[in-house]
Chains A and B, each alone.
Chain A
Amino acid sequence: MEIDISKVDAIIDKHSLEHRWLITNLLAIQDEFQYLPQDAIRHVAERMNIPILQVYQVAEFYKVFKLEPPGKHLVSVCRGTACHVRGSEALIERMGDLLKIAPSRTTKDKQFTLDVVNCLGCCALGRVIVIDDHFYVNVTPNEVESILDKYVSNGD
């Protein structure tokens, strides 16, 4: 995929070229493109004078970074301890069954990416699902389908 490299430059130019800004820059690039495009990684490595291997190492190490374009909707199911003891495992299973994908994968039609996350800090209301920044709390496995339908039926 072609990307607008000037957007990457604008991000890098916000700070000095010191190594310490690598993660900050990668986070900003991901905010811009929803993932880390190869060309952007290469460009960051060149501009910041960091071996590309090291940039990939950082991008692979930190879980927030995605190296492939995610689906249109990002579905995060929390499996923090509080959610776990309240049965989040069943939610994860149900969500996977409905979307027909494993966690960290994107559906074939590029509509949904399923993430399983550690804790969103809403423990008192577990089980929690977040879709595109919208929180659904105290979700039961039976409700998963109707929640998901809101995003499927959009059709656009």
Chain B
Amino acid sequence: MAEGNTIAESDVERWREKLLAARDASRPRITVCGGTVCLALASGEVGAALEQALEQQGMHASVEMKTTGCPGLCDQGPLVTIYPQGIFYTKVKPEDCSEIISQTVKNGEIIEHLLYEDPQTGEKIIHITDVPFYKEQTRILLKDSGLIDPYKIEDYIAVGGFRALEKALTEMTPEQIIAEIKRSGLRGRGGGGFPTGVKWELCRKAPGDTKYIICNADEGNPGCFQDRGVIESNPHSLLEGMIIGAYAIGANEGFIYIRHEYPLVVKIIRQAILQARENNLLGENILGSGFNFDIEIQLGAGAYVCGEETALIASIEGRIGEPQARPPYPVTKGLWGKPTTINNVKTWAWIPPIINNGADWFTQIGTEKSKGTTIFSLVGKVKQPGLVEIPMGVTLRHLIERIGGGAPNGKKLIAAQTGGPSGGCIPESLWHLPVDYDSLREAGSIMGSGGMIIMDESICMVEMARYFLDFSKFESCGKCSACREGVRRMYEILDYITRGLGQEGDIELLEELGQAVKIGSLCGLGQTAPNPVLSTIRYFREQYEAHIRDKHCPAGVCKDLVSLDAVKEN
């Protein structure tokens, strides 16, 4: 296919040149964040007020307004940035907008009270590029987040979008693409960390003419929003990665499985697919290459277990999301029994930059065994929560204290929870560890898909374990008795402990049950559900003992124990 096709002259490249030629870089541009969170903070009203102010002040024609996706600094929203200077305003209200136009856009004057305040130094910062939260990151997947309009394919084209697809279709064979991805060492960003190139090769080589690819966008982990961030800010990068992947694997049909709880994301990706079809980037004979491929959306209906690949497949087939035993793996027997490759949103989104810049470029970022960057939703007890992209290998402490700004209210930080209900708590004493798949696993947690919840001393670790087990108990599909009954029993023991009814031997029983549930469960949900308990016992055993022996909750969270104390004191 690589030889003799007709697109060497590059339709997309010509389109890009035209777009760039029509653009005046010195023309003032105002961006307003339109991600889920900013919209919740009424950024829509801010955008409308800015438009109105431009109109009233006769500047409508000379200034470009742009609504972007989520730039990741959620608690400072709505965010407004004024280019070309890059003046960065936070927590903007509709009533500020007239002033923004008359002072900043017209005269370049800074409005002090809208500036971002560095949470560590208290210093006011004018330019977005000087904000430590952004400065300390290595933004590759999130490079254009906050700059481009996710509803406009032209914006993605203008920043180099679909260049990798053209390269893949014109200059590379499917085998060459797979070899490049393998050489890059890219590992699955959903948390499993399986080498992506190897997965693709297995699927390509699997017997059968019909193959499928799936994007897992069922971001069901509570406390995570990286996939939402990626799609809301740049949906076309995901599509480009999927088209290249489909070409490499030999699939003509793809699915994006996305949770219905993200209505804005669904709307954005639907629009992106329509635009890609209109421009021959999806559909028949893509860019004249002879390759056919299209993508459908399948909405998840609220079942956490459907993040597991065999359950996800069952759900696309219209059945209940019960996992199946593996092997056979989906790469040989997946959707409707055909070879199927499932990757996470970020894995697909990594493909275009790797094809553009080459595997060698990618291998320079990150560590020996974990290449590239990773995106964390850094939330909980930090001064500056948000969406953070860092190279693998950065220490937890750097991430939490430098980028996240450390503790918000002077209380001591004690742990970072990663991997959601499948992960564990990493105590502060281990924050010198680098963020990568293997270090986090050795510490008793997992990389997961990128949720990181920071906890301080006001949080009770036993109650936290109870919370996660409550979640897994509720989400267990019930197929394996070890998971269905074991997780429930572990939850009950934890619940008793938090209510002051714990007994000697409970900790050991939890450890024993935890191992049994891990071994006796078919899928990742059960195999990892005990992790939050086991890791908190490992690092915070004294808290369990205080609950059981002294009927005391050191954090003062467990109500029954707090009131017991109060009774005693009286």
* Contacts known (A81-B417, A82-B223, A123-B225); A62 close to B301, Cβ less than 8 A: yes
Interface string of B371-384 (1 = CB under 8 A from A): 00000010111000
Residue A70 is within 8 A (CB to CB) of chain B in the complex: no
Closest CB in chain A relative to B463 CB, distance in Å? 9
Interchain CB contact under 8 A, B304 and A124? no
| Pair B40/A81 contact, Cβ less than 8 Å | no
Which residues on A sit within 8 Å (CB–CB) of B262? 121
B48 interface residue, CB < 8 Å from A?
no
B85 within 8 Å of A by Cβ? Answer: no
* Residue contact A119 to B223, C-beta cutoff 8 Å: yes
- Least Cβ–Cβ distance between B300 and chain A, in angstroms: 8
In the bound assembly, the distance between CA atoms of A118 and B302 in angstroms comes to: 9
**Stretch from A4-12, A18-26, A105-113, A145-153 that touches the partner:** A18-26
Which B309-342 residues have a C-beta within 8 angstroms of A?
A: 315-321
Query: Can you name the residue of chain B whose Cβ is closest to the Cβ of A57?
Result: B320
Contact B317 A20 (CB under 8 A): yes
Report chain A residues within 8 Å CB of B468. 81
Give min CB distance, A97 to chain B, whole Å: 15
Shortest CB-to-CB span from A116 to chain B, Å, is: 10
Query: Which residue of the partner chain, among B302, B319, B477, contacts A64 with CB atoms under 8 Å?
Result: B302
Say yes or no: A81-B453 contact (C-beta < 8 A), given A27-B301, A64-B260, A124-B379: yes
Instruction: Give which listed residue, B219, B225, B260, B471, contacts A122 with CB less than 8 A.
Output: B225
Query: How many CB-defined contacts (below 8 Å) exist between A and B?
Result: 128
The B-contacting residues of A in range 54-71, CB under 8 angstroms, are 54, 57-58, 61-65
- Residue in B closest to A19 when the chains form the complex, CB atoms: B318
Chain B residue total in the interface (Cβ 8 A) = 49
Q: Give the chain B neighbours of A124 by CB distance below 8 A.
A: 37, 74-75, 377, 379, 385-386
**CB-nearest residue of chain A relative to B315?**
A23
B319, A121: Cβ atoms under 8 Å? no
Whether A125 and B301, one on each chain, are in contact in the complex, defined by CB atoms closer than 8 angstroms, is no
Interface size class of A (residues with CB under 8 A): 35 or more
The answer, yes or no, to whether B455 is at the interface (CB within 8 Å) is yes
| B381 contacts A21, C-beta separation under 8 Å | no
Given contacts A118-B222, A120-B261, contact A81 B37 (CB under 8 A): no
Judging by beta carbons under 8 Å apart, are B471 and A118 in contact? Answer: yes
Residue from B40, B301, B316, B471 in contact with A137 in the complex, judged by beta carbons closer than 8 Å: B40
A123 to B260, Cβ gap below 8 A? Answer: no
Residues of chain A with a CB closer than 8 A to B477's CB: 61
Tell me if A63 and B303 are in contact (CB < 8 A): yes
Residue of A nearest to B453 (CB): A81
Does B87 interact with chain A (Cβ within 8 Å)?
no
A121 touching B219, Cβ below 8 Å:
yes
**Nearest CB in chain B to that of A84: its residue:** B467
B224 within 8 A of A: yes
Is there an interface contact between A123 and B385, defined as CB atoms closer than 8 Å?
yes
A68-80 Cβ-contact flags toward B at 8 Å (1 or 0): 0000000000011
Query: Does B81 reach chain A (CB closer than 8 Å)?
Result: no
Are A119 and B379 within 8 A (Cβ)? no
User: Which residues on the B side are within 8 Å of A85 (C-beta)?
Assistant: 380-381, 453, 455, 459, 464
Residues of B within 8 A of A62 (CB): 301-303, 320-321
Please give me the residue from chain A that is nearest to B459 by CB atom. A85
Q: Which residues of A contact B464 (CB under 8 A)?
A: 85
Task: With both chains docked as a complex, state the minimum distance between the C-beta of B438 and any C-beta of chain A, in angstroms.
Answer: 24
Are A81 and B260 in contact, with the CB atoms below 8 A? no
Contact A121 B261 (CB under 8 A): yes
- Please tell me if the beta carbons of B321 and A80 are within 8 angstroms of each other in the complex: no
CB distance from A105 to the nearest CB of B (A): 16
- Which B residues are in CB contact (< 8 Å) with A63? 301-303
State the Cβ distance, B561 to closest chain A Cβ, in Å: 15
Q: Does B299 contact A (CB under 8 A)?
A: yes
Closest to B385 in A: A124
> Could you say which of B74, B260, B417, B455 contacts A27, with CB atoms under 8 Å apart?
B260
Please report the C-alpha to C-alpha distance between residue A86 and residue B464 in the assembled complex, in whole angstroms: 12
**Residue of B74, B261, B455 with most partner-chain A CB within 10 A:** B261
24 pairs, CB–CB < 8 Å, chain A vs chain B: A19-B319, A20-B316, A20-B317, A23-B301, A24-B298, A26-B301, A54-B319, A58-B318, A61-B477, A62-B321, A63-B303, A65-B301, A81-B222, A81-B223, A85-B381, A119-B261, A120-B36, A120-B261, A121-B261, A122-B40, A123-B74, A123-B379, A128-B40, A133-B263
Interface of B with A (CB < 8 Å)?
Answer: 36-37, 39-41, 74-75, 219-225, 228, 260-263, 298-299, 301-304, 315-321, 377, 379-381, 385-386, 417, 420, 451, 453, 455, 459, 464, 467-468, 471, 477
> Which 4 pairs show the lowest CB-CB distances between chains A and B?
A135-B40, A62-B301, A81-B223, A124-B74
Q: A-side interface residues toward B, CB under 8 Å? A: 18-24, 26-27, 54, 57-58, 61-65, 79-82, 84-86, 117-126, 128, 133, 135, 137
